[in-house]
């Protein structure tokens, strides 16, 4: 994986839930674009360290930080560690997310709270800590024309209702309004806040949706592009949103979904 090694030169980034899947790819792409990257992980210490080692072997800068993003004290400690190590932060990628699926009437309060806690509260807590540092430091024109960039990993389910996944869809719908409201509030300070809404991407979170030919064929009926996405599709969009190439993009969601939100069921007149 490679990108212009100067695009994000001297910028400092934190990616949450970066020990696997989309977060891992974003962390690797940010690093190969020149950013120093903090790899947040929840429980996969070995995977996180392997990513750090790989980045360092390519002359990049990285560190792994354990934290549960749904816990305020752990998020604050994680940001202290990032600021101690890197001096500041320029890019936050709010990626950590979980699913706990069930029929609506069987959904426990624990499963509701767990998903909202990681997917929505976790993004709020991390965005707030990042914004404090962006505001304290302000713009450094030799680094970036923004005082900071926040990228929220949402989902097509911020707009597509999802039976059997009410907690997940509610968390992703919530991210949209949270992202836009933060963007509206902080835009005058030259802080940019945007979301990426992935469609179906092959990662551990959704293995059962693509790991047999039958499952993949069923999934492809929902994707006009007729391929399941890969983590690089999302990572490339994240690098662009983190860079000054997207300086006039603020408060929006970029759908990287092979057209999943085009309602393919209506192709033949519904």
Catalytic residue flag (residue 41): no
Least distance from ligand NAD to the Cβ atom of residue 209, Å: 8
User: Is residue 204 part of the contact set for ligand NAD (CB under 6 A)?
Assistant: yes
Q: Does 82 bind ligand NAD (CB under 6 A)?
A: no
CA 136 to chain centre: 24
Among 22, 36, 51, 130, binds ligand NAD (CB under 6 A): 22
Token pair belonging to 33: 């674009």
Q: What is the distance between the alpha carbons of residues 62 and 106, in angstroms, rounded to a whole number? A: 42
Token output for 265:
């069921």
CB of 200 to ligand NAD, least distance (A): 5
What x-and-dash track marks residues 169-198 binding ligand NAD by CB under 6 A?
-----------------------------x
Distance, in Å, from the CA atom of 155 to the CA atom of 160, rounded to the nearest integer, reads 9
Query: Which is nearer to ligand NAD, 69 or 131 (by Cβ)?
Result: 69
Three-class SS string for 160-225? CCCCCCHHHHHHHHHHHHHHHHHHHHHHHHCEEEEEEEECCECCHHHHHHCCCHHHHHHHHCCCCC
Q: Is 153 in the site for ligand NAD (CB under 6 A)?
A: yes
The answer to whether the beta carbons of residues 69 and 122 sit under 8 Å apart is: yes
Q: Which of 33, 70, 167, 194 binds ligand NAD (CB under 6 A)?
A: 70
Query: Among 3, 29, 41, 168, which one carries the catalytic annotation?
Result: 168
Angle at the Cα of 159 (from 238 to 212), degrees rounded to 5?
75
Residue 98 contacts ligand NAD per CB under 6 A: yes
How many residues bind ligand NAD, per CB under 6 A?
Answer: 27
Residues in contact with ligand NAD by CB under 6 A are 16-17, 19-23, 40, 42, 44, 68-70, 95-98, 118, 153, 155, 198, 200-201, 203-206
């Amino acid at each position: 994986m490679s990108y212009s090694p100067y695009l994000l030169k001297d910028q400092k980034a934190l990616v949450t839930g970066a020990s696997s899947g989309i977060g891992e790819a974003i962390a690797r792409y940010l690093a190969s674009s020149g950013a120093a990257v903090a790899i947040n992980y929840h429980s996969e210490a070995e995977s996180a360290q392997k990513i750090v080692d790989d980045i360092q072997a390519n002359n990049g800068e990285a560190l792994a930080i354990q934290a549960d993003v749904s816990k305020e004290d752990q998020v604050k400690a994680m940001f202290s560690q990032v600021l101690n190590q890197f001096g500041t932060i320029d890019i936050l990628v709010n990626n950590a997310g979980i699913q706990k699926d069930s029929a609506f009437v069987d959904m426990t309060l624990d499963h509701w709270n767990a998903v909202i806690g990681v997917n929505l509260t976790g993004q709020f807590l991390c965005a707030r800590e990042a914004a404090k540092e962006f505001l304290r430091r302000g713009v450094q024109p030799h680094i970036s024309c923004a005082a900071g960039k926040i990228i929220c990993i949402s989902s097509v389910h911020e707009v597509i209702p999802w039976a059997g996944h009410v907690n997940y869809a509610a968390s992703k719908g919530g991210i949209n309004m949270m992202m836009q409201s933060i963007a509206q509030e902080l835009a005058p300070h030259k802080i940019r806040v945007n979301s990426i809404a992935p469609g179906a991407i092959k990662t551990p979170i959704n293995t059962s949706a693509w790991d047999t030919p039958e499952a993949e064929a069923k999934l492809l009926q929902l994707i006009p592009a007729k391929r399941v996405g890969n983590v690089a599709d999302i990572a490339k969009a994240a690098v662009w949103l983190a860079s000054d190439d997207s300086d006039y993009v603020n408060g929006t969601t970029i759908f990287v979904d092979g057209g999943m939100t085009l309602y393919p069921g209506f192709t033949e007149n519904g």
